[in-house]
Chain A
């Protein structure tokens, strides 16, 4: 894992430096770029040193836990990530839980009622889920539930008049629970509903399709035919025998999808003014803010690798054949 991270870091570092573009323009200011100001800003950003020195200094800094300074936020990168990542984590967890609950159930219903009207309806629903752009869906949800009906709160993690809870984890719902801040708890739950519905819509569609497809395949297996011939009720066959085998592809997909969600979903974060890591990474990229770009790349790579590992472990938990083979 360390080698992979180092490789990604090296490639990202050098690619970001060779792409045409001068970040000092944005931080010196395009309209106040006399040579002295530019020189000062370059020194401040460490860009006056040779490239290899910049790389070495960066690596030394990373080994000491210093991921540099973000020029577009004015904060150390570590502080920024500690601020932005929990927002994405919170949204990702809620979205994924919602997606799993609903997606599993819909997938089972669709598979067990194959060919019936409900199956067609759910398959149509899944097509919309994988086709609809999250950006559009988010705006429509806001338009209907916030703008027209007034049911949902305005975009953001909290209402303007609520002070965030005392920071323990950075997850507002959890921190509110832990500190007994009920007003903040209710408000943060209200604010997370629309963005998590928006994010989970596509996830539900994927999970539903996966569960349906794999369940249908499993239901064709010999041991299922045997179970039926023994006279077992259909529900036992599905929930006790078939689902456990059918869920394996879903586990794999969910693990990787969750890692991907943690990488941030910039469009949903922008629509709902959700200050997540995707928004932070995007702003860093368009501003050529090297330090956060590198740190975010490392973080996303790490999450992806951890996601892979967790999926492998879950495979072993669900499938005893893998455990005994190991």
Chain B
């Protein structure tokens, strides 16, 4: 009897535990979720990847760039204009004051004098002044990207709120470089407390941010979330949204479910965070609105390595251009969310002229050129993509199928990202797909990385394209001040590119930003980064 009671007791206890666990699960699930304090306006955003660094000098991924752009300020900003259809965009043709209230440029273009905004403080209370600007620009000169900041000869503090920058040669785009997020103004006091300007010695800045921007970095939990809180003393006025919570959700389906159910407010950008294939579905989702912007300084393209046979033969490259089904690729890979590209320039760049690009999808013409080039029976080649790049894979797969009709067999190889870049820089990749967005809306800035012989390899000229005439035209156009003459040179450049075909332009991306209906004030910047200061929640 006693044993039976003991056994029954065991069974009852075990079964009770199970029942309690299940009851507990149901109870906790049905508890209401916490909501934000009604006094604090909070915007919940999501990134599909974590940020990597908060050092403006070293940040290269979009997520890091966006946080930096909201925590720091630069000397100048772009004017915000309203398009005919009511959208707000940055006007890259006009600078407006930011941390600099005014500036003068010497007639020879070598000296820039900036008059700085007074009464601005860093988030920790340190004063913003000429010393901070000098410190930042000196750091950029010494450790920054040489292509942008290599022309800085010296930076002088004239007085507490005046800085003079002297260049070693004229640079017509220098003001644009000062707008970039990489030119964010740093607090020299805090930098020196944590190792100084040298990024080798100062790793503190990689995970901390003390700027003058509209938001302060409250928290960065790697892999989990970033929290920004409004800078109440921001010189432009306190942001309307008190807190920005950026959740890291790497699984796209989970991110989209959050957007649709309303647990994420947005803006969430496509195609960077949300793939093209899901845009149409989200556009039809009630409660979500979408704002679309066709890129003005970006092009998606195929690259052909001019050093690797058979692409060292210009006729073969031209044949490849005739064999590219642009419409099919836009439909299949971009799901319609792109416009065909007829130039390697961005669509909004001065001098953009689609008339030079004579190619369309014509396999007969392609075959004729292959015969002339000595490849009547096609050939075998390889294309490489970095692991996880589903967009490039889609593009190349569609192209692969079209090229097969000419007996051109493309073996698409997916490798780890560092391996891909290693191979690309060293000229071992015959074919690749790439996006080229420029943060400066200038055709020569855009093209010099792709087409100048000095940028062959790591610099951006991954087609290993070497044309002396192209080099000369790029340099001439960079410094040409007469816009008519400049556009003529740019036309000639586009003509050469259309003949030499180191690159095949495929599309200009349509960026879509998804957000809840009650999120207002969105402004599209050329760098596609969201500036939360403009946003409000109704």
Residues of A within 8 A of B (CB): 19-23, 25-38, 40-41, 43-44, 69, 71-75, 80, 83-84, 98, 101-102, 105, 139, 142-143, 145-147, 150-157, 159-162, 164, 183, 186-187, 189-190, 193, 233, 235-236, 239-240, 270-273, 275-276, 279-280, 283, 286-288
B145 engages A155 (CB within 8 Å): no
B417 engages A26 (CB within 8 Å): yes
Known: A154-B261, A275-B221. A236 touches B3 (CB 8 A): yes
Which B residue sits closest to A153, measured CB to CB? B33
Cβ–Cβ < 8 Å partners of A154 in chain B: 254, 257-258, 261, 263-264
Contact of A287 among B8, B15, B418 (CB under 8 A): B418
Q: Can you list 19 contacts pairing A with B, beta carbon distance less than 8 Å?
A: A21-B422, A22-B421, A26-B60, A26-B417, A28-B60, A30-B421, A32-B147, A74-B52, A146-B261, A147-B260, A154-B257, A155-B249, A159-B34, A164-B221, A236-B7, A273-B248, A273-B251, A283-B223, A286-B416
From B23-31, B95-103, B112-120, the one touching the partner chain is: B23-31
B147 engages A34 (CB within 8 Å): yes
Which B residue sits closest to A24, measured CB to CB? B418
Q: How distant is the Cα of A119 from the Cα of B426 in the complex, in angstroms?
A: 62
Query: What's the least CB distance linking A41 to chain B, in Å?
Result: 8
Q: How distant is the Cα of A34 from the Cα of B261 in the complex, in angstroms?
A: 45
A143 engages B388 (CB within 8 Å): no
A288 engages B418 (CB within 8 Å): yes
Cβ–Cβ < 8 Å partners of B222 in chain A: 73, 75, 80, 83-84, 275, 280
A74 engages B34 (CB within 8 Å): no
Cβ–Cβ < 8 Å partners of B170 in chain A: none
Is B54 in contact with chain A by the CB < 8 A criterion?
A: yes
Cβ–Cβ < 8 Å partners of A83 in chain B: 221-223
Q: How distant is the Cα of A275 from the Cα of B254 in the complex, in angstroms?
A: 14
Q: How distant is the Cα of A277 from the Cα of B207 in the complex, in angstroms?
A: 19
Is B206 in contact with chain A by the CB < 8 A criterion?
A: yes
Is B11 in contact with chain A by the CB < 8 A criterion?
A: yes
B36 engages A270 (CB within 8 Å): no
Which A residue sits closest to B143, measured CB to CB? A40
| Most chain A CB neighbours (cut-off 10 Å) among B15, B143, B421 | B421
Q: How distant is the Cα of A69 from the Cα of B264 in the complex, in angstroms?
A: 32
Query: What's the least CB distance linking B458 to chain A, in Å?
Result: 4
Query: What's the least CB distance linking B279 to chain A, in Å?
Result: 19
Query: What's the least CB distance linking B529 to chain A, in Å?
Result: 16
Query: What's the least CB distance linking B451 to chain A, in Å?
Result: 14
Counting from the closest, the 10 A-B pairs by CB-CB distance are A29-B60, A275-B223, A74-B206, A21-B418, A25-B421, A33-B458, A21-B419, A235-B7, A154-B263, A288-B418
Known: A155-B251, A273-B251. A160 touches B425 (CB 8 A): no
Known: A22-B418, A34-B146, A34-B147. A147 touches B261 (CB 8 A): yes
B3 engages A273 (CB within 8 Å): no
Is B83 in contact with chain A by the CB < 8 A criterion?
A: no
Cβ–Cβ < 8 Å partners of B131 in chain A: none
Is B173 in contact with chain A by the CB < 8 A criterion?
A: no
Which A residue sits closest to B422, measured CB to CB? A22
Q: How distant is the Cα of A98 from the Cα of B17 in the complex, in angstroms?
A: 11
B30 engages A160 (CB within 8 Å): no
Q: How distant is the Cα of A71 from the Cα of B17 in the complex, in angstroms?
A: 46
Query: What's the least CB distance linking B452 to chain A, in Å?
Result: 12
B50 engages A69 (CB within 8 Å): no
Cβ–Cβ < 8 Å partners of B17 in chain A: 101
Query: What's the least CB distance linking A145 to chain B, in Å?
Result: 8
Q: How distant is the Cα of A98 from the Cα of B418 in the complex, in angstroms?
A: 40
Query: What's the least CB distance linking A37 to chain B, in Å?
Result: 6
Starting from the known contacts A101-B14, A161-B35, A271-B251, 17 additional A-B residue pairs (CB-CB under 8 Å) come to A21-B418, A23-B418, A27-B60, A30-B421, A34-B147, A139-B254, A142-B257, A157-B224, A160-B42, A187-B34, A190-B28, A236-B4, A271-B253, A273-B224, A273-B247, A288-B416, A288-B418
Q: How distant is the Cα of A237 from the Cα of B200 in the complex, in angstroms?
A: 69
Is B53 in contact with chain A by the CB < 8 A criterion?
A: yes
Query: What's the least CB distance linking A150 to chain B, in Å?
Result: 7
Q: How distant is the Cα of A285 from the Cα of B42 in the complex, in angstroms?
A: 35
Which A residue sits closest to B437, measured CB to CB? A31
| Most chain B CB neighbours (cut-off 10 Å) among A142, A155, A276, A279 | A155
A40 engages B418 (CB within 8 Å): no
Cβ–Cβ < 8 Å partners of B257 in chain A: 142-143, 146-147, 154
Q: How distant is the Cα of A32 from the Cα of B65 in the complex, in angstroms?
A: 14
A44 engages B200 (CB within 8 Å): yes
Is B203 in contact with chain A by the CB < 8 A criterion?
A: yes
Which B residue sits closest to A76, measured CB to CB? B203
Cβ–Cβ < 8 Å partners of B158 in chain A: none
Is B157 in contact with chain A by the CB < 8 A criterion?
A: no
B254 engages A271 (CB within 8 Å): yes
Q: How distant is the Cα of A186 from the Cα of B260 in the complex, in angstroms?
A: 25
Q: How distant is the Cα of A187 from the Cα of B421 in the complex, in angstroms?
A: 43
Q: How distant is the Cα of A145 from the Cα of B261 in the complex, in angstroms?
A: 12
A155 engages B254 (CB within 8 Å): yes
Contact of B248 among A75, A105, A275 (CB under 8 A): A275
Contact of A160 among B10, B44, B424 (CB under 8 A): B44
Q: How distant is the Cα of A73 from the Cα of B8 in the complex, in angstroms?
A: 54
- Bitwise, B391-425 to A at CB < 8 A (1) or not (0) is 00000000000000000000000001111011111
B146 engages A233 (CB within 8 Å): no
Which B residue sits closest to A40, measured CB to CB? B143
Query: What's the least CB distance linking A154 to chain B, in Å?
Result: 4
Q: How distant is the Cα of A193 from the Cα of B261 in the complex, in angstroms?
A: 19
Which B residue sits closest to A188, measured CB to CB? B28
A273 engages B250 (CB within 8 Å): yes
B52 engages A233 (CB within 8 Å): no
Query: What's the least CB distance linking A90 to chain B, in Å?
Result: 13
Is B302 in contact with chain A by the CB < 8 A criterion?
A: no
Cβ–Cβ < 8 Å partners of A74 in chain B: 51-55, 203, 206-207
Which B residue sits closest to A71, measured CB to CB? B52
Q: How distant is the Cα of A283 from the Cα of B387 in the complex, in angstroms?
A: 12
B261 engages A44 (CB within 8 Å): no
Known: A25-B425, A40-B143. A186 touches B248 (CB 8 A): no
A40 engages B261 (CB within 8 Å): no
Q: How distant is the Cα of A288 from the Cα of B386 in the complex, in angstroms?
A: 13
Q: How distant is the Cα of A145 from the Cα of B258 in the complex, in angstroms?
A: 13
Is B460 in contact with chain A by the CB < 8 A criterion?
A: yes
Which B residue sits closest to A194, measured CB to CB? B29
Is B18 in contact with chain A by the CB < 8 A criterion?
A: yes
| Most chain B CB neighbours (cut-off 10 Å) among A28, A30, A105 | A30
A272 engages B203 (CB within 8 Å): no
Is B165 in contact with chain A by the CB < 8 A criterion?
A: no
Q: How distant is the Cα of A29 from the Cα of B268 in the complex, in angstroms?
A: 23
Cβ–Cβ < 8 Å partners of B31 in chain A: 186, 190
Contact of B29 among A35, A44, A161, A190 (CB under 8 A): A190
Known: A236-B3, A288-B416. A155 touches B258 (CB 8 A): yes
B459 engages A34 (CB within 8 Å): yes
B421 engages A233 (CB within 8 Å): no
Cβ–Cβ < 8 Å partners of B18 in chain A: 101-102, 105
Cβ–Cβ < 8 Å partners of A235 in chain B: 4, 7-8, 11
A233 engages B28 (CB within 8 Å): no
Query: What's the least CB distance linking A128 to chain B, in Å?
Result: 19
Known: A22-B422, A152-B29, A280-B223. A72 touches B458 (CB 8 A): no
A189 engages B28 (CB within 8 Å): yes
- Bitwise, B120-163 to A at CB < 8 A (1) or not (0) is 00000000000000000000000111110000000000000000
| Most chain B CB neighbours (cut-off 10 Å) among A31, A280, A287 | A31
Q: How distant is the Cα of A153 from the Cα of B264 in the complex, in angstroms?
A: 12
